[in-house]
Amino acid sequence: MVATMITCLAQSYLFASPEALAKQSRAILLNRPNPLLSRFPKNNTRLKSQTPVPRRRLLPLCFFNAGKDSNSNFEEREENESEWPILKKWEIPWEWQTVSLTSLACGLSFVLTGLVETAALPILGIKIEELSLDEKAEILFVDQSITTIVTLGVLFSIANTFQPFPEDLYRYDLKEPFNLQKGWLLWAGIGLIGAIIAIALTGTVMSFFRGEDPQRETDALVRLLPLIGSSSISTACLVGITGVLAPVLEETVFRGFFMTSLTKWVPTPVAAIISAAVFALAHLTPGEFPQLFVLGTALGLSYAQTRNLLTPITIHAFWNSGVILLLTFLQLQGYDIKELLQAT
C-alpha cells in the first residue's frame, strides 16, 4: 500500500507541469498539521484563514557591470585602438634607477670587453702588426662577437628580473613582414628610403655651414679602409660585423631598451629623438653627428611604428652593409675610396 502511494506520487511529480506542481506543493504545505499550532487555542483561526502569499515572478539578473568604470574602460580601449601606433607608449616595468644603472652597465661592459681583449692578444702570442689582412678581419669579427654577447648578456640579465615582459618589449617577430600597419620588412624599406633622403639633405645643408672638411682619421670606416675589398674573407667578416652583429647590439640597446624606457616619462617621438642623440654621441665621431642623429631618428620612429626590433635592425644592417659593399665595389673598380670619403 505504501509502495503504491509512493509510486503514484513520484509519477505525478514526474509528469505534472511546473505550475501544477507548485499548486500541489502549496496545498500540501497548507493542509499539513503544524505542531506549533497545538500550543495556541483552537478558536484561533487567524493563521488558518490567512491567505497564502502570492508567488512572485523571478526577474532576470544581469551581471554585466555597465557603470562608470566599464564605460571608461571601453572608451579607453577604443581610443587606444584609434591612436597612431607611432604615438603609443610602452608599458615599462622598471624605474629610472634601473634605466641609469643598466645603461652604465652596458657601456662599461662594452669598454671593458674591448680592453680585456686587447690585453689578451699579447698573452696569447698574437702580434697585430704581423697578421695578414684576412687574419685582422677575423680577429675583428671575433672581437665584435664577444662584445655583442657580453653586452647583451648584461642587458638581459638585468631586464629578466622584471619578467614577464609586455608583448611588444624585446620583440623579434618574423611574422607578417608586409603588413600595412606593422609589417617589419615593409616599414624597414620605408624607413631606409626616408633615412637616405633625410641624410642626403642633411649633408647638403651642412656643407653650406662648414668650410674645409675635417680629417676623418678617427672615423671607424676610415680605419677599416685597408680591409675593404682586400679579399672575400675580409669582406665577409666586415659585412658580418657591420651588417649583423653591430645592428643587433646597437638596436637592442638604444631602441629596445633605452628608447622604450624613456617613453615612461616622455612621448614616444621625443624618446626616439633623445635615443638618436645618444646613439650619435656613442659613435665618438663629432663630424658625423648630424647624419647619425638623422639615421637614429629614422630607426626610432620605424621601431615605434611596428613595435618589432627587426625593423630598425634591418634598416641598420642594410645601411652598414650597403656602405661596405658599395665601397668594395668602387675599390675593385680602381677608385680611391679614401679620397671619395674625404670628398663626401
Query: Domain extents for the chain?
Result: 88-162+173-208+222-343
Angle at 209 between CA 208 and CA 211, to 5 degrees: 85
Average pLDDT over residues 297-306: 97
Per-state percent for the chain, helix, strand, coil, to nearest 5: 70, 0, 30
Q: pLDDT (tens digit, 9 = 90+) per residue, 191-248?
A: 999 999 999 999 888 888 765 554 544 466 677 778 887 889 999 999 999 999 999 9
Give 51's contacts (C-beta < 8 A, 6+ positions apart).
none
Q: What is the pTM assigned to this prediction?
A: 0.74
Distance, first Cα to last Cα, the chain = 114
Q: pLDDT (tens digit, 9 = 90+) per residue, 182-193?
A: 999 999 999 999
Angle, nearest 10°, between helix axes 310-332 and 289-306? 140
Percent of the chain scoring above 70 in pLDDT: 71
